[in-house]
Structure 1
């Protein structure tokens, strides 16, 4: 009898302890007051720094901004839990990257997005294009597809019928009447290529980081919805309070004012229009 009583008490104590642990784990997230926010260095980190962080700090959060120099590490860091959210990519890239790496990441909200621009230090306009001109493009598949779509929009190439604009590559070019020499480079290197090529397609964040102005581009991309940049989180975190607060910080009047003041030329998401 004594042994049975002891066993019952031990089991009861263990159950109470387990319940306490479970309750503690459940309460940890609502009480979460630190957000580690990843972004590529430049405008998307600055949007957080000047527009989003102050709003979150008013709600009691400590916000740490972690800057990345490529398009790979921010998602790996998010999946590993090294950061809580990131802002640098569009939904087409997020879906492909997540599928390829088998990561459970989800988009939260679109952010003001810098379009790809066409820049030149040798020509004053697109009409000056000549046969054999050199054109540098980003080499990652999603941004290469964007650049090729722009090439078609400005009439420099024609794509094969039925080409998916999200997956377009040089193989999909049906006609290149100017016989342009297309040079694929890592996106971060495109601003430096301006001294060597006739025209360069430069992602907005790298253009701004290198000192180029969106307003000085010879032409700017008309960004379709699926190329608007966004905030991403782990899918398991999507409905947590800190994610709701991030979304509301981007939708705030304070952030809109910062966007208008600091990010001229960016394409605004629907909630800012």
Structure 2
């Protein structure tokens, strides 16, 4: 009986020891914080690097891919993801105002110049009477596209046009161009039928286009309104780990990667978020 009791005690102690060892092993990894970041497909290469660098800081990033401009903010607001990084500051501000979302911009990332693309025209001046131009239809990208078409010398907008509003703001259209707003995700496909299409860089990359070399006319990268940002729920905007992610994104290693990976299609921005406080005056 005594031997049996000793044997059971020994087995019990072995079992407890194994449990303690297992617990110690899980504790080693349990310190890692998992943060879900929603990004567009074009930015996944950059965020894979950020993920690797964050891992060294004890932060585990889970990258969640989105293919549109609506769901990432809704997912952030509902708590499905912790951060997102896919949109310009002007788009973000308009979206959260319209949807009454309590989200905040916490860091700058890069600027992706918009371009006018064409399969048939070698130069923007080759557009002819009545040609169709496809543009994105969401409020901020629509206005941005109209400003780009104006800068290309094709139309004249009302003097007080500030980027808000649609084609009703066209004051002069000498070539009677047919300017057709469609969903941003369809702008690249529009090249199959239209003479030209205004396409965001991330959508262009997704369609296999080169945003540096392929446009017949391209936006410059100096407008603060079109700088992309990292967004978080407002009650988490001062989260230390989130601030660390912004810091990592602004590192020389990430900036160099963006420059080499995208060849000018994306331009890294390392300014603090306060840099965008006056973007509406830019």
The question of a shared fold, defined as TM-score above 0.5 by the shorter chain, is answered with: yes
Taking the aligned partners of 2:270 and 2:62, their CA distance within structure 1 comes to 27
1:136 matched to which residue of 2?
A: 134
Q: 1:107 aligns with which of 105, 108, 124?
A: 105
Q: Tell me, yes or no, if the aligned pair for 1:158 and 1:175 is still in contact at 8 Å.
A: yes
- What is the CA-CA distance between 1:62 and the residue it aligns to? 1.4
Matched, 1:63 2:22: no
2:186 matched to which residue of 1?
A: 189
Give the TM-score normalised by the residue count of structure 2: 0.81
> Does the residue aligned with 1:88 lie in a helix, a strand or coil?
strand
Q: Deviations over 1:36-81 (max 9, x none)?
A: 0101222x2222113x111111101111100112111111111111
- What is the CA-CA distance between 1:32 and the residue it aligns to? 6.4
Q: 2:146 aligns with which of 140, 145, 148?
A: 148
Taking the aligned partners of 2:41 and 2:259, their CA distance within structure 1 comes to 20
1:172 matched to which residue of 2?
A: 169
Matched ranges for 1:175-254 at <5 A: 175-214=172-211, 215-223=213-221, 224-254=223-253
**Larger gyration radius, structure 1 or structure 2:** 2
1:259 matched to which residue of 2?
A: 258
Matched, 1:36 2:36: yes
- What is the CA-CA distance between 1:209 and the residue it aligns to? 0.7
Q: Which segments of structure 1 move beyond 6 Å, counting only runs of 4 or more?
A: none
Alignment gaps of 5+ in structure 1: 1-30
Taking the aligned partners of 1:270 and 1:225, their CA distance within structure 2 comes to 12
- What is the CA-CA distance between 1:238 and the residue it aligns to? 1.0
- What is the CA-CA distance between 1:168 and the residue it aligns to? 3.7
> Does the residue aligned with 2:267 lie in a helix, a strand or coil?
coil
Taking the aligned partners of 1:65 and 1:35, their CA distance within structure 2 comes to 8
Taking the aligned partners of 1:73 and 1:162, their CA distance within structure 2 comes to 32
Matched ranges for 1:110-121 at <5 A: 110-121=108-119
Alignment gaps of 5+ in structure 2: 1-30, 273-282
Q: Deviations over 1:183-217 (max 9, x none)?
A: 11111111111111111101100100110001211
Q: Tell me, yes or no, if the aligned pair for 1:32 and 1:242 is still in contact at 8 Å.
A: no
Taking the aligned partners of 1:257 and 1:116, their CA distance within structure 2 comes to 21
> Does the residue aligned with 1:130 lie in a helix, a strand or coil?
coil
- What is the CA-CA distance between 1:179 and the residue it aligns to? 0.4
Taking the aligned partners of 2:37 and 2:270, their CA distance within structure 1 comes to 23
What is the total number of aligned residue pairs between the two structures? 239
